[in-house]
Amino acid sequence: MVRFHAFSIFTGSQEPTPTQKQTSMKRIFTFFFALLSACTFSTYAAIIDGTCGDNLTWTLNTKDSTLTISGTGNMTYSSPWFDYRSYIKYVILPDGLTSIGDNAFSGCSSLSSITIPNSVTSIGDYAFIHCSSLTSVTLGNSVTSIGKEAFKDCSGLTSITIPNSVTSIGENAFYYCSSLTSVTLGNSITTIEYGTFSKCSSLTSVTLGNSVTSIGKEAFRDCSSLTSITIPNSVTTIGYRAFQYCSSLTSVTLGNSVTSIEADAFYRCENLTSITIPNNVTSIGDYAFSACWSLTSVTLGKNLTSIGWEAFQHCSSIREVTAFMPTPPAAVNCGLNPAAVTLYVPAEYLEAYQNAVWWEDFKKIRAIGSDWDVEFVDWDGTILATMKVPNGEAATAPADPTREGYTFIGWDKDFSHVTDHMTVTAQYQINRYRVRFFDYDNTLLKTDSVEYQAAATAPANPYREGYTFIGWDQEFDSITADLDVYAQYEFGEDCDMTIVFTNSEDNDSEIYSQSLTIKVPAAPDIEGFTFLGWQPVATLITDTITIQAIYEADIPSSAPEVYVNPANPAQKLLRNGQVYILQDGKTYTITGQKL
């Protein structure tokens, strides 16, 4: 093991000064650095030591990376172990230590935790700046002050509790602690200085003590994960850009002692939905709530005298402003849109606002506490219910109305927060019904979806051999329910023909002709024969005309006989080149059979 002592190069009985000891130690360490750099400190340990105050000494063991401080009193030297800070992972502080000096552990990037003993009363400027691995800090209950930038850029620090003993925290003390999620401030702190928690992008929870009187400029700027903040009644001032770019901030509660909100204080808190300015606030600074795009309602306290330039610029969602000031304040360029915003004021101040410069431009100025008439009507104007609703409260809707052929789907307006006279109209959606078209054998021809009382569209007329389609079994021109429709037929197919009356077989002496349509049935199928058509049986027309089916044999012409039914030859008869067949009690003529 190699051990360095700051006084090892001195001889004689004279005790070297602390400065001489420190210089000697650095020279010796430099002399052996080349040798030590060839070895790992985990194998070859070096003990480096020195003084850090009148009654304080320090020892760094490079093998276990532990810095141990011994003695009592104030740490007066500025980081005497600075050249070896990259080796420090652990720090042991004595109970007799009363202060941590400026830059004491600056840049100790491997330091992961630190416990400040109860004897320490102050933490100097930059004391733990850039300690990027520092995740845990425990502060003793005697610390009264934390210096500026003391924990700046401690990007691994996740939470911090400031004890009640602390009365001051310096500027940018926790600036850019990007992993810091929660902060609890003790009850003795009076001021949150410039940039104290600025750019703590993971910060979601802040608890302020009840002694804080002012929140300094940019104190919580760019805390983009902070969702809500409650300002205690002790606070009187919210500084310039104090909460600027807190983009997740949805809820802000301001204490009753706040008197001023400075410029840009809540600039671009784009998720903030409402804000109530306490009665003691006299001024709202320029751009204080500018670009708060989700802000819908603003309440202004009774002592407000001025609203700064574009304080509510680009707050296009604001629909309600409630003002309790007896005298309308100066607000000409404040950014509120008189055409889109409804202004509510106490009834006794109504006339003052109606006649005041700029305030008179509001299209709607209402008296606070008014009861509003709300009327619910049906689609045809029938009044379903009327009521009076106190300002800001919800109306009660009547039972859902009904309308034949339609389904009720709600009301056309939101009436959960009534701030004006309103008529609410029932909304409906027209019903649709299924219409199916079937053929005679239950074959589905088409399915149609039809609105209430509209007509269905039929498919093309179906065809059935030997029959004539004559329409559908029911009407479908005004549908009011699901419907099945079936095709209807008449036996026989329509056939257009002309009957000619002549006095000769050659038809050259036409006496009279008549066109007509008759039903022609389908001819029966006979095995071995092809149907050719129908032929009148020669007869004198008196009352009935007989028409026979004509068939042609499907067998070769050389066949001597034709058997329609080989099992019953009696059903076949050859005569004059034609075959007359008696089948099922009916007579048919078969042509084309040669004898």
Same domain, 414 and 450: no
Helical ranges in 223-370 per DSSP H? 350-354
The pLDDT, as a whole number, for residue 494 is 75
**Structure confidence by residue, pLDDT tens digits, 500-539:** 777 766 666 777 778 877 777 777 777 667 777 777 766 6
Name the residue with tokens 């609105």.
451
User: Which of 194, 209, 224 corresponds to the end of one domain?
Assistant: 209
Amino acid at 8: S
- Is a pLDDT exceeding 70 seen at residue 154? yes
Same domain, 126 and 203: yes
Residue 520 vs residues 234, 335, 547, 553: alpha-carbon distances, Å: 106, 88, 10, 22
The pair of three-digit structure tokens given for residue 135, joined into one six-digit string: 């995740």
In whole angstroms, give the CA distance from residue 494 to residue 490.
Answer: 10
The pLDDT, as a whole number, for residue 516 is 78
**Structure confidence by residue, pLDDT tens digits, 348-373:** 899 999 999 999 999 999 888 778 89
In a domain, 83, yes or no: yes
What is the rounded average pLDDT of the residues 294-309?
96
Quote the pTM value: 0.61
The pair of three-digit structure tokens given for residue 304, joined into one six-digit string: 């407000």
Is residue 197 a contact partner of residue 180, using CB atoms and an 8 Å limit?
yes
- Is a pLDDT exceeding 80 seen at residue 87? yes
The pLDDT, as a whole number, for residue 504 is 66
In a domain, 278, yes or no: no
Residue 554 vs residues 326, 559, 569, 591: alpha-carbon distances, Å: 114, 11, 18, 11
- Is a pLDDT exceeding 50 seen at residue 37? no
Same domain, 35 and 66: yes
Same domain, 421 and 462: no
The pLDDT, as a whole number, for residue 586 is 47
What one-character-per-residue DSSP string does 196-248 give?
Answer: TTTT-TT--EEE--TT--EE-TTTTTT-TT--EEE--TT--EE-TTTTTT-TT
| Sign of the alpha-carbon dihedral angle for 53, 73, 152, 216 | negative
What is the rounded average pLDDT of the residues 364-384?
91
Same domain, 458 and 416: no
- Is a pLDDT exceeding 50 seen at residue 123? yes
In whole angstroms, give the CA distance from residue 199 to residue 184.
Answer: 17
Which CATH number does the domain housing residue 406 bear?
Answer: 2.60.40.4270
pLDDT above 70 coverage of the chain, percent:
83
Q: Look up the domain containing 147 and give its range.
A: 107-209
Helix, strand, coil percent content, the chain, rounded in steps of 5: 5, 35, 60
User: Which of 59, 92, 125 corresponds to the end of one domain?
Assistant: 92
The pLDDT, as a whole number, for residue 520 is 76
In whole angstroms, give the CA distance from residue 49 to residue 58.
Answer: 5
Higher-confidence residue: 41 or 213?
A: 213
In a domain, 219, yes or no: no
Which CATH number does the domain housing residue 144 bear?
Answer: 3.80.10.10
Across 86-95, 330-339, 401-410, 534-543, least confident range: 534-543
Q: How many other β-carbons are positioned within 10 Å of the β-carbon of residue 369?
A: 11
Residue 394 vs residues 329, 344, 365, 382, 384: alpha-carbon distances, Å: 31, 17, 20, 22, 17
Same domain, 471 and 564: no
The pair of three-digit structure tokens given for residue 27, joined into one six-digit string: 């020279």
What SS3 class is residue 35? helix
What is the rounded average pLDDT of the residues 537-548?
69
Across 56-65, 239-248, 577-586, least confident range: 577-586
- Is a pLDDT exceeding 60 seen at residue 556? no
- Is a pLDDT exceeding 60 seen at residue 41? no
What SS3 class is residue 32? helix
The pLDDT, as a whole number, for residue 554 is 64
The beta strands (E) that lie in 378-492 are given as 383-390, 406-411, 422-430, 432-438, 444-451, 467-472, 483-491
The pLDDT, as a whole number, for residue 506 is 64
Q: How many other β-carbons are positioned within 10 Å of the β-carbon of residue 391?
A: 17
- Is a pLDDT exceeding 70 seen at residue 69? yes
In whole angstroms, give the CA distance from residue 162 to residue 197.
Answer: 13
On average, the pLDDT of the chain sits at 85
For 351-368, letters b (16+ CB in 10 Å) and e give ebbeebebbeebeebbeb
Nearest to 49 by CA among 103, 101, 2, 118: 2
Same domain, 403 and 460: no
**Structure confidence by residue, pLDDT tens digits, 179-202:** 999 999 999 999 999 999 999 999
In a domain, 516, yes or no: no
Query: C-alpha angle 110/133/70, rounded to 5°?
Result: 55
Amino acid at 269: C
Is residue 376 a contact partner of residue 383, using CB atoms and an 8 Å limit?
yes
The pLDDT, as a whole number, for residue 553 is 64
In a domain, 249, yes or no: no
- Within 8 A by CB and 6+ apart from 355, the residues are none
Same domain, 13 and 82: yes
- Is a pLDDT exceeding 50 seen at residue 219? yes
The pLDDT, as a whole number, for residue 11 is 32
Q: How many other β-carbons are positioned within 10 Å of the β-carbon of residue 233?
A: 13
Region class of 414: left (phi > 0), else alpha (psi between -120 and 50), else beta: beta
In a domain, 353, yes or no: no
Split at pLDDT 50, 70, 90, the class of 580 is very low
In a domain, 79, yes or no: yes
Query: C-alpha angle 71/50/102, rounded to 5°?
Result: 75
The pair of three-digit structure tokens given for residue 367, joined into one six-digit string: 């008296």
Long-range contact pairs involving 493-499 (C-beta distance under 8 Å, separation at least 24): 493/465, 493/466, 493/467, 493/468, 493/519, 493/520, 493/521, 493/522, 494/468, 494/518, 494/519, 494/520, 495/519, 495/520
The pLDDT, as a whole number, for residue 252 is 96
Query: C-alpha angle 568/570/574, rounded to 5°?
Result: 125
Same domain, 192 and 175: yes
The pLDDT, as a whole number, for residue 259 is 97
Q: How many other β-carbons are positioned within 10 Å of the β-carbon of residue 552?
A: 12
Name the residue with tokens 């009660």.
396
Element (H, E) at 33: helix 18-37
For 523-540, letters b (16+ CB in 10 Å) and e give beebeebeeeeeeeeeee
What is the rounded average pLDDT of the residues 293-305?
96
Q: How many other β-carbons are positioned within 10 Å of the β-carbon of residue 91?
A: 21
Same domain, 119 and 205: yes
In whole angstroms, give the CA distance from residue 393 to residue 459.
Answer: 56
The pair of three-digit structure tokens given for residue 307, joined into one six-digit string: 């609203």
User: Which of 190, 209, 228 corresponds to the end of one domain?
Assistant: 209
Same domain, 195 and 111: yes
Is residue 404 a contact partner of residue 433, using CB atoms and an 8 Å limit?
no
In a domain, 345, yes or no: no
The pLDDT, as a whole number, for residue 420 is 82
Higher-confidence residue: 327 or 588?
A: 327
Domain count, the chain: 5
**Structure confidence by residue, pLDDT tens digits, 161-170:** 999 999 999 9
The pLDDT, as a whole number, for residue 548 is 72
Same domain, 593 and 577: yes
Q: What are phi and psi of 347, to 5 degrees?
A: -55, -35
